[in-house]
Homo-oligomer: A and B are copies of this chain.
Amino acid sequence: MQADLICVGNELLTGLIENSNAGFLSRRLWAAGIEVRETAVVADDGEAIRSALNRALEHSEIIIFTGGLGPTEDDLTREAIASALGLSLNLDQKWLEKIEHFFNMRGIKMPENNRKQALIMEGASLLENRAGTAPGSILKWEGRLLVLLPGPPNELKPMFDDLVLPALKDFNRGSLSRLKTLKCCGIGESSLENKIKSLENWDLPPISYVARGYEVHLQLKGRGSAAEAAEAIEKGESKLRGLLGDCIYGSDDDTLAGKVAELLGEKGLTLALAESCSGGLLSSMITDIPGSSQFYRGGMVAYSGEAKTGSLGLARSLLEKEGQVSEPVAMAMAEAARANFKSDLAVGVTGIAGPDGGTAQKPVGLVYIALAGRCDCYCKKFNLGGGRLAVKERTVQMALDMIRREILNNYGQ
Residues of A at the B interface (CB closer than 8 Å) are 9-20, 22-28, 30, 35-44, 48, 52, 55, 70-74, 105-106, 111, 113-114, 131-132, 152, 154-155, 158, 179, 181, 189-191, 193-194, 207-212, 217, 219, 273, 275, 278-284, 286-288, 290-293, 296-304, 306-307, 310-311, 340-342, 353-357, 383, 385-390, 392
Contact = CB atoms under 8 A, between A and B. Distances in A.
Contact of A219 (B11, B106, B158, B278): B11
Contact of A114 (B190, B307, B341, B353): B190
A105 B22 CA distance: 39
A306 B190 contact: no
Given A11-B217, A279-B286, A302 B307 contact: no
16 contacts: A11-B208, A13-B37, A15-B23, A16-B210, A18-B19, A18-B20, A37-B43, A39-B41, A71-B190, A111-B191, A284-B392, A288-B389, A292-B303, A306-B342, A307-B341, A311-B340
A297 B287 contact: no
Given A16-B181, A71-B189, A74-B207, 14 more contacts: A13-B36, A15-B23, A15-B24, A39-B41, A72-B193, A74-B208, A111-B194, A113-B193, A114-B190, A280-B286, A287-B353, A298-B303, A306-B342, A310-B340
Chain A interface SS verdict (over half): mixed
